[in-house]
């Protein structure tokens, strides 16, 4: 049985997340497994590096599957991209060692959350950015983000209250950058703020709750020091709002 590793890009707008569900076939994993069944005639399970939520996008999602197909990696990739919908693409596909597992072998991930900090709508970015009209203080948000670096219990920054698994994670880096929104080009001001999060793993809704909390620091609703208090409390209700999924993109998975 051969093991194939693939890197995927997808726009998550119209999908119910990565994970296949009994109630709908409108998921990324579901689309991939349906196509591989069509290709091989056999039920094929696709393992992803993680479960992106409904509406979340990916530039570098990693997945793997086992198959005894005689097709070459380039033939499989060509076949998949021919039949996949236009908002899902395989950008790399290769054979991997038999024991490679996209989730269990992952060492870290980087996410980016995009915020449009203006009252002027940017039509061509609307599916990929969260719009926040109030002026945001990036220096205050960077100061607050420093409290999240390192290894902590991030229980206060997850929506999953029932899980018995460890909520300890290591946040390796947080970068907050101003940029010109892609659709505005050279004509626009630096009205987009991008939050880059790199860590060894992320809890359910973790990046989106952290972003919501930092935005409240940026609008002076909270002090930067409150982030440390939220961490210590372990209480979800002490953290900020859950910002919309559409602003979040999985950038890369590291092995």
Beta bridge partners of 21: 24
Longest distance between any two alpha carbons in the chain, whole Å: 60
Indicate the DSSP class of residue 245: G
How does 131-168 read in b/e, with b if 16+ C-beta sit within 10 Å? bbeeebeeebbbebbebbeeebebbbbbeeeeeeeebe
Q: Do 249 and 12 meet the contact criterion of CB atoms below 8 Å apart?
A: no
Helix (H, G, I), strand (E, B) or coil at 117: coil
Q: Do 194 and 179 meet the contact criterion of CB atoms below 8 Å apart?
A: yes
Q: How far apart are CA 79 and CA 241, in angstroms?
A: 42
Alpha-carbon distances of 11 from 49, 112, 122, 147, 234, rounded to whole Å: 17, 14, 18, 32, 33
Q: Do 95 and 34 meet the contact criterion of CB atoms below 8 Å apart?
A: no
Alpha-carbon distances of 161 from 52, 164, 168, rounded to whole Å: 18, 9, 14
**Positions marked active-site:** 53
């Amino acid at each position: 049985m051969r093991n194939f590793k693939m890197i995927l890009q997808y726009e998550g707008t119209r999908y119910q997340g990565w994970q296949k569900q009994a109630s709908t076939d409108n998921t990324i994993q579901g689309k991939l497994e349906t196509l591989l069944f069509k290709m091989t005639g056999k039920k094929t399970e696709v393992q992803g590096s993680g479960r992106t939520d409904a509406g979340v996008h990916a530039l570098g999602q990693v997945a793997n599957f086992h198959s005894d197909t005689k097709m070459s990696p380039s033939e499989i990739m060509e076949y998949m991209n021919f039949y996949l919908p236009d908002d899902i693409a395989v950008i790399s596909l290769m054979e991997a060692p038999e024991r490679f597992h996209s989730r269990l072998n992952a060492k870290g991930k980087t996410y980016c959350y995009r915020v449009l900090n203006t009252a002027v709508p940017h039509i061509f970015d609307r599916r990929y950015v969260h719009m926040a009209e109030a002026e945001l203080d990036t220096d205050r948000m960077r100061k607050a983000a420093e409290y999240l670096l390192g290894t902590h219990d991030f229980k206060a920054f997850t929506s999953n209250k029932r899980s018995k698994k460890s909520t300890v994670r290591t946040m390796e880096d947080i970068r907050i950058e101003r940029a010109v929104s892609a659709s505005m080009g050279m004509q626009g001001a630096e009205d987009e703020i991008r939050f880059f999060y790199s860590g060894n793993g992320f809890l359910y809704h973790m990046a989106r709750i952290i972003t919501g909390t930092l935005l409240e620091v940026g609008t002076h609703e909270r002090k930067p020091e409150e982030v440390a208090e939220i961490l210590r409390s372990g209480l979800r209700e002490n953290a900020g709002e859950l910002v919309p999924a559409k602003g979040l993109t999985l950038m890369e998975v590291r092995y």
